[in-house]
Chains A and B, each alone.
Chain A
Amino acid sequence: MSKDKKPTSSSFFSSLFKIKPTKPGEVYGVPGQGDSLLISSISALCLIGFWSLATWAGWIKPLFLPSPLAIFNKFVQVATEGFADKSLFEHTKISVLRVFGALLLACATAIPVGLAMGMSRVMRGIFDPPIEFYRPVPPLAYLPLMIVWFGIGELAKVLLIFLSIFAPVAIGTRSGVRSAAIEQVHAAYSLGATPWQVLTQVILPAALPEIITAVRIGMGVGWTTLVAAEMVAATSGIGFMVLSASQFLQTSTVIMGIFIIAAIAYAFDMLMRFLERKLVPWKGRA
């Protein structure tokens, strides 16, 4: 046996690709298995550390990238004093209402439409062209149309976000319809189910994992569209705050706004993952 050597960087990288048996309790060859929480925390801390170092050492001017501390101070300042005559809470609240309103509206329409498209040739024929036509178009491109048609009020904003969420949820639901095994559908029919019962009691529950994934994706797209929606004639909202701060080169407010959006979206995604574990614990095991 060779002597113990201090791991050098090259042996660290070669160990990543080394073929070796697993520890008891793990399965050999599963890609990316194991818990990554610790590494994620270290990664995040390193990023913040490097960021602090870069700003503290003066490698980068505060106009381009303020220090993490400056951003925290800005957060405290805006939280107490407000921004553009509105408190930070109000800005956050209106943005959350816009995005979640649009999300609820999208789920209430896109899930039935997706189911209908998956279940029926006719419905697929009707809805496929419009959805596939507008889906790849960036919301900013049809924002002027939305304003011309629906004005500069809340309706246009919510509709813009709604449209961006609708397509991924409808498409995800449509592909989820195929999740039910044909044996499960046959079993239901041979137990006396009506087509409606098969839809509600077999197809829909079987599609639930894909629907949840689609809603998670839709949520992300919704937040992406928020800033576009708040670009025009908005006087409140996180997107408005970010945009108007950027016009005054208040970079710290911009970054703070980005962090708030990221934090809310991340919290929602955590909630969806929790719901996924509660609602579809059988995902991937059936």
Chain B
Amino acid sequence: MGSLHVDHVTVEFPLGPNTPPVKALSNVDLEIQSGEFVVALGASGCGKSTLLNLLAGFLSPSVGQINLNGSIVVGPGADRAVVFQKHALLPWLNVIDNVAFGLKLRGIAKAERHEIARKHLKQLGLEAFETHPVYQLSGGMQQRVGIARALASDPEILLMDEPLGALDALTREKAQELIIRIWKETSKMVFFITHSVEEALFMGTRLIVMSPRPGRITHTFDLDFSKKFLAGADARTVKASPEFIKMREQILKIIFGDEEAIGSDHV
């Protein structure tokens, strides 16, 4: 069983010699156990992406440390796969070679890596497109290829940076259901950033609400809506239930409060 610990992490961005640094994150603590789906939500500038970059190893904390299964994170690695808002696929590779890219980097033979890639393409409903060029796919399909690529390297944790942000509403809901199902099958840790309160509530097992200035976690909620969906409930029914709506309004209130606080600063 894997786990990820963020211990008292602070990130300060230098602004110049005569300006005090900006605190992008202040004293953040977070623990993710395997099988958990943690969703981060917050006003812009609250440090969600900074936190994801820390977990991915693209950024090192000014203070504190990050542990994955007991070892300190010091850089990006195949144990932490990232799914980006822009799919970030490689257009010179076809669908299956994009999915198998991480395995190729590890030196796994072609037949074997294609076999693994095929399994993940099937999981995401893309088995008919394995030889297609990625630039011919729709946005939703490209994003699914990106997820398949992340899964193919069998990471401990999936880091998803607004992966569905660029999709249309219908595709987005389908993709949410797909991601929840895959998460359930693989029981990997997931850290998921979104701007949509509804998406956050529906998908996560835990919701962290972050606030800006300095970026920090202000609220944590345990959620069970995805469990209801996985137990067989219809997605729309879950999202229309009174508990869901009540919680949605509660969280919107927090976020709007933060947005207004930022706004009044600027006026």
Contacts and interface: CB of A to CB of B under 8 A. Distances in A.
Given A191-B102, A192-B102, A192-B153, A205 B90 contact: yes
A190 B56 contact: yes
Interface residues of A, number: 23
A280 B135 CA distance: 12
A191 B81 contact: yes
A186 to B, nearest CB: 6
B88 A181 contact: yes
B105 A282 contact: no
Contacts of B133: 281-282
A286 interface: yes
A201 B82 contact: no
Given A190-B77, A192-B106, A286-B135, A183 B84 contact: yes
A183 B91 contact: no
Contact of A202 (B82, B84, B90, B149): B90
A187 interface: yes
A134 interface: no
Given A184-B90, A282-B92, A285-B135, A190 B105 contact: no
Contact of B77 (A183, A187, A192, A281): A192
Interface of A: 181, 183-184, 186-194, 197, 201-202, 205-206, 208, 280-282, 285-286
B76 interface: yes
Contacts of B89: 184
Interface in B203-254: none
Interface of B: 56-58, 75-78, 80-82, 84, 86, 88-92, 101-102, 104-106, 133-135, 146, 149-150, 153, 159
A202 B149 CA distance: 15
Nearest to A281: B133
Contacts of A181: 86, 88
Contact of B82 (A190, A194, A205, A206): A190
Given A186-B56, A285-B135, A191 B149 contact: yes
A246 to B, nearest CB: 47
B78 A192 contact: yes
A280 B93 CA distance: 10
B157 to A, nearest CB: 11
Given A186-B84, A190-B76, A280-B92, 9 more contacts: A184-B88, A184-B89, A186-B58, A187-B82, A193-B105, A206-B90, A208-B92, A282-B133, A286-B91
Contacts of A281: 133
A187 B77 CA distance: 10
B69 to A, nearest CB: 16
Contacts of A197: 105
Given A189-B76, A190-B80, A191-B102, A183 B153 contact: no
B81 A285 contact: no
Nearest to A187: B88
